[in-house]
Structure 1
Amino acid sequence: MPFSDVVTRLRAAGCVFAEDEARMLLAAARTPAELDAMVVRRADGMPLEHVVGWAEFCGLRVAVDPGVFVPRRRTEFLARRAAALVPPGGVAVDLCCGSGAVGAVLAASAGRLDLHAADIDPAAVACARRNLAAAHVYEGDLFDPLPSALRGRVDVLVANVPYVPSGEVALLPPEARDHEPRTALDGGADGLRVARRVIAEAPSWLAPGGHLLFETSRRQLPDALRAAAEHGLRPEPAACDDLDATIVVAALA
């Protein structure tokens, strides 16, 4: 299928960046039949990353299987801030790891690193194990599957928690709403249900001087900071306007 035909079909389906997507599909397809099938899936609303099988994240190519949460550009801010805090040979944990994109940035940035990751979604765990071949990846709910030997030893705990309020999940773009697990999106009534659970347990896992980092929204930021302070952490907000990213960086007091 010629490039122009792919662009036309994608544009007709409402793809804003049809030319860029067409180039990615043409590069990924091994046969004309595979290209046609990929174009159909994308035109039907499947996320481009699921169609081609990968996402670019902080300059890395991260495998993303169908049904797995697609790493967002805004989360690059969280990943880079976390990577900057990992000491040489340190211990890092990537909770709600999804495909393992944040953990992959930590591993690429920190050199020697004892990296652990966990997610409740089996498909995400399978994907993360491919992206984090040198890490320990566990399936389970937040801290539950982590080895108890990590308690009090984690230098950086990063959690890309879901923070969309339950009542707003239906308002998400169809690509997210229809193709990503709700557990990766739904943050409860006010969007902070999972963040609060992480905050409550984080102090017992962090090493002296360790940090918890998690993503949130500007609207939720005051409550997120308050929750972290109530559990003995020293929270600071950080934001990146270019990526529309808001995070909390909380040190163990």
Structure 2
Amino acid sequence: MAKDLSVKPDTAKNTRWDPGEPEEDRGDWVENTVDIYASVDSPPARAEKEHPKAAATAVIICLALLCLLLLAVITSLVIRHFTEVERSKRLQASLDNLTKERDQLQTSYDTVVQQRDDLRKKLNASLCHLSVGSSWYYISPEKRNWNESRQDCLQRQSDLLIINSKEEQELLIHLNKRVWFGLTDMEEEGTWKWVDGKPLNTTYWNSEQPDSNGIPPNLEEDCVEYHAGVWKGWNDRSCLENNSWICERNIC
């Protein structure tokens, strides 16, 4: 075991040799082996140097791992962002296509509706226009008062029907609807005239007609309609009432 350096040397033993001393006086030599160790109270110098280096290495490794983790998160977010952008572009393209198809369908629908309306007008025209002998007739699909009905006929370059033949009276019978025609006594009560100013000659009144039962006076029955149903004849009625009407125009 090593000796303690703090122990005082044994001066009784000869540990040095003086050249001037006779060999016989040298005495016996004592060889001492001294092992030198650092004091147990002080930490090793190498451990003190290696500890900061290891701590720095650990910090660097942690920072590197954090950087790798952050890079992975950023990469994931970037990929997700571009994925959402592409998805949004695809959805927008689909929406644009649907909008285009909707507009095309709307255009097709409008075209079909227009064609339907045109066909309806042609059908109504074919049903509402008749020709008997030398006259052309228009039967209205709507209802107006007597004066408005006549104005419509005038706009069609015609006038309310003047019944001057049995065939025209039979035409009204076959229509089987209440219609205004061109007979009135608005100018003079009881004096019936056609719209062309000619006096009434041939009549097809219902029984007990005309009776002019309008009360008050502004509702006097000064206009004549064909009354379909049981009567099937002429009936005087207030000109303010709404009826269908029939126009006549001579074509020869």
Q: Which has the higher contact order (CA 8 A, sep 6+)?
A: 2
More strand per residue: 1 or 2? 1
User: TM over 0.5: same fold?
Assistant: no
TM-score bracket for the superposition, by shorter chain length: under 0.3
